[in-house]
Amino acid sequence: MSPHKWSRTHRLRHGLRTKRSRSLARLLPLFDGFPYLVTRIGHIALRHIALLPADRRVEEIRAIARRQALANRLETCLVLGRRRSVYVDVHGAETPSRDVPAGGLLISGKLRLAEEPAESVELRRRAAALTAWIEAQTAGLGGGYIVGDGLDHGRPATARDLAHLDGTDPDGTPCGLARCPTCGELAGEMLDRRGDEPSPTAVLRVHCRCDDWNRCARCGESLKGRRLSAWYWDEPDRQAWYVPGFSAFGHRCPDEQEADEPKAGESEAGESEAGEPEAGEPKAGESEADA
């Protein structure tokens, strides 16, 4: 997505830069540990930030950003300076800009890069600064949780939609859904019957597993197992479920999963299975009264 569309969507909510909001945008906090990637999560203020190596040529850094956007299929912005950025859409198209995404709720360490930047004193300094920055920005927010990502509303229903999509099959399946010949799941369009409206006002696009295109840039596996910011039909439940974009943050690469698994002969707590008993348990040859 171009910076103009990104900004236009967020203009009223987050004050991103447009001709009419540049002065306001300059007042928003901007992390200055350039270069880094900002990944937009849905249409909410949540954004993921990933530090990039500062000793690489701009062309190389742009290639990293493009590779990340094409793998995650999430709108991405490469931030090179206070007035220098490159927006990369989900298809890899680049748009250089002087508009930089500022403000928002930042999170880091959830979307891995294709390659980890080489360790250096300079990178550690920026990483520490980023951690402190995020903590400072979220210090006054308190607890809570996020519901949805702002992309679950579908498109407005037309008179034709109401005529062709109304009704269900005998088993309760919306008539606008058909079985995918590849994965066997149901996909298509259905009327959004949530809320208290007397008749549906929106159409939801339902995706099957074949439509899942959100991949981890590091391991290449699906970030969630379902397309992000999309609906899918759950046949046992006979209803549609929405997968918000921030579901990607739960992904763990195979190497991370292996690192979490206890080694052979070791319990999950990290102790040897034949090692010392836990505190409070009598040792071998000792009665409970002696323990």
Residues 109, 180 within the same domain: no
Asked, for residue 177, whether it belongs to a domain, the answer is yes
Q: What is the C-alpha end-to-end distance of the chain, expressed in Å?
A: 67
Give the Cα separation of 238 and 252 in Å (integer): 29
Amino acid residing at 192 = D
Taking only the tens place, the pLDDT of each residue in 179-225 is 999 999 999 999 998 876 667 889 999 999 999 999 999 999 999 99
Which residues does 10 contact at the CB level (< 8 Å), separation at least 6?
16, 43
Mean pLDDT of the chain: 84
Q: Which of 94, 205, 207 is nearest to 155 (CA)?
A: 205
Residues 186, 82 within the same domain: no
Residue 128 pLDDT exceeds 90: yes
Taking only the tens place, the pLDDT of each residue in 234-288 is 999 999 999 999 999 999 999 999 888 776 666 555 544 444 444 444 333 343 4
Task: Taking residues 132-157, report their average pLDDT.
Answer: 84
Q: Which residue, chain included where needed, has tokens 């090179």?
A: 80
Residues 47, 85 within the same domain: yes
Residues 106, 167 within the same domain: no
Residues 10, 131 within the same domain: yes
Helix, strand, or coil (residue 121): helix
Task: Taking residues 7-12, report their average pLDDT.
Answer: 39
pLDDT at 103: 85
Q: From the centroid of its chain, how far is CA 152? A: 15
Residues 165, 222 within the same domain: yes
Helix, strand, or coil (residue 231): strand
Which residues does 239 contact at the CB level (< 8 Å), separation at least 6?
233
Phi, then psi, of 56 in degrees rounded to 5: -100, 155
pLDDT at 274: 44
Q: What is the pTM of this model?
A: 0.80
Q: Find the domain containing 190 and state its range.
A: 155-250
Residues 16, 101 within the same domain: yes
Asked, for residue 270, whether it belongs to a domain, the answer is no
DSSP state of 171: T
Q: Which of 204, 194, 207 is nearest to 161 (CA)?
A: 204
Residues 186, 107 within the same domain: no
β-bridge pairing 177-179 and 76-81: unpaired
Question: Regarding predicted confidence, which is higher, 85 or 287?
Answer: 85
Residue 6 pLDDT exceeds 90: no
Question: Regarding predicted confidence, which is higher, 36 or 23?
Answer: 36
Q: What total of structural domains would you count in the chain?
A: 2
Residue 290's pLDDT band (cuts 50, 70, 90) = very low
Residues 115, 242 within the same domain: no
